[in-house]
Amino acid sequence: MFFERVAILGVGLIGASFGLAIRVKGLCKTIVGHGRKEQNLRRAKELGIIDAYSMDAARACEGSDLIVLATPVGILKQLVGEIAGSIKKGAVITDVGSVKSIVYDLESLVPAGVSYVGSHPIAGSDQSGIDDARADLFRGARCIITPTENSHRAAIEEIASLWELLGSRVESLDPHKHDRIYAAVSHLPHLLAYALVNAAHGFSDDCIEYAGQGFKDVTRIALSSPELWRDISIFNKDNLINVMEILQENLDRIHDLLVAGDASGIEKEFSRAQRLRLVLSNDNQRSAANSADSMTAGSGL
């Protein structure tokens, strides 16, 4: 797999890491970046993440074999509309957003002969700048691709193979199922982190300065971009509202047990959550072991 020209629209942590990754893997000849801040694009060029840039999205995409949309989900439809007339026939477009039902709208905007396949690499951090970009960010990470009934088989296979070459464990999900799952395990935790910080401050304005490691661990993702998570929350609001109602039921149950002083009931609630969380811990350990085995085998050791 080799791309003569790749356009990355949105050169933040994920976009920049993608650029570094495909360059290290020797998967492209030229990488062109686009973004809102020219200073950031100049920095990306200095760091060797991109070869050139344009403040005009359509111009950045001209002649590109692969176009990667790495912007906040709120501007994706506008962005695809802007670049549609400049995309060459045979090009493949993917995005790296956390909300995937929007793929149906996006694929309807691309011209004939162009394929769109949604992607969601489950990788990143609370940092969003290019200075934290890493070529190995996607190694060992799960990557969800979300093809639809309109997706071309060749494009699906190309995008899946691309992420696998970058070290990701690729899975395919229906876009709507993706959004329902990640409302619970990604989007809700971010909302909770923001709400928890605000609640602690509201409870006592000097609480946060006394916080220990537990509070820091739980609220680390409250450092994430408010703009990015605003868009994700709005675009997946129905699923989020649904899972927030289920969360409220669980909080109400613990609240009632506390009011009743039911220590046994509280312990049962906590133990149930502990058992469920252990499944995730064991899965992570297996994934890490498999990743290590794969790298050892690849090194010839």
- Same domain for 63 and 82? yes
Average pLDDT over residues 84-90: 96
Which residue stretches of the chain are H helix?
A: 13-24, 38-46, 57-61, 76-83, 103-109, 153-165, 175-182, 188-203, 213-219, 226-235, 237-260, 263-299
- Same domain for 84 and 141? yes
- Same domain for 231 and 117? no
Query: Residue 292: inside a domain, yes or no?
Result: no
Q: How much is the mean pLDDT over the chain?
A: 92
pLDDT for res 176: 98
Query: Residue 295: inside a domain, yes or no?
Result: no
Query: Residue 108: inside a domain, yes or no?
Result: yes
- Same domain for 40 and 11? yes
We report the CATH number of the domain holding residue 218 as 1.10.3660.10
Query: Residue 13: inside a domain, yes or no?
Result: yes
Cα 116 from Cα 95, distance rounded (Å): 9
Average pLDDT over residues 121-135: 84
Average pLDDT over residues 215-242: 96
What is the extent of the structural domain holding 205?
A: 177-284
pLDDT for res 293: 45
| Cβ contacts of 70 within 8 Å, gap of 6 or more | 8, 9, 10, 11, 12, 14, 15, 18, 95, 96
Rounded percentage of the chain residues whose pLDDT exceeds 90: 89
- Same domain for 27 and 131? yes
pLDDT for res 301: 27
Q: Which strands make up the sheet holding 142-146, listed edge to edge?
A: 118-121, 142-146, 169-172
- Same domain for 149 and 208? no
Q: Which of 133, 152, 173 represents a domain boundary (last residue)?
A: 173
Q: Predicted confidence band at 266 (pLDDT cuts at 50, 70, 90)?
A: very high
Query: Residue 290: inside a domain, yes or no?
Result: no
Average pLDDT over residues 253-280: 96
Query: Residue 299: inside a domain, yes or no?
Result: no
Q: Predicted confidence band at 129 (pLDDT cuts at 50, 70, 90)?
A: confident
Query: Residue 31: inside a domain, yes or no?
Result: yes
Average pLDDT over residues 91-116: 96
Helix (H, G, I), strand (E, B) or coil at 4: strand
- Same domain for 242 and 222? yes
- Same domain for 144 and 190? no
- Same domain for 30 and 87? yes
Q: Which amino acid is at 162?
A: L
Q: Predicted confidence band at 300 (pLDDT cuts at 50, 70, 90)?
A: very low
CB distance 68 to 8 below 8 Å: yes
Q: Which of 173, 191, 206 represents a domain boundary (last residue)?
A: 173
Give 78: exposed, middle or buried? Use CB within 10 Å, 0-12, 13-18, 19+.
Answer: exposed
- As for how many domains the chain has, the answer is 2
CB distance 103 to 80 below 8 Å: no
- Same domain for 54 and 94? yes
Q: Which of 157, 173, 189 represents a domain boundary (last residue)?
A: 173
Task: Report the phi/psi class of residue 8: left, alpha or beta, with left for phi > 0 and alpha for psi in -120 to 50.
Answer: beta
- Same domain for 28 and 167? yes
pLDDT exceeds cutoff 70 at 261: yes
- Same domain for 119 and 204? no
pLDDT tens for 27-67 read: 999 999 999 999 999 999 999 999 999 999 999 999 999 99
Query: Residue 289: inside a domain, yes or no?
Result: no
Cα 192 from Cα 186, distance rounded (Å): 10
Helix (H, G, I), strand (E, B) or coil at 20: helix
We report the CATH number of the domain holding residue 25 as 3.40.50.720
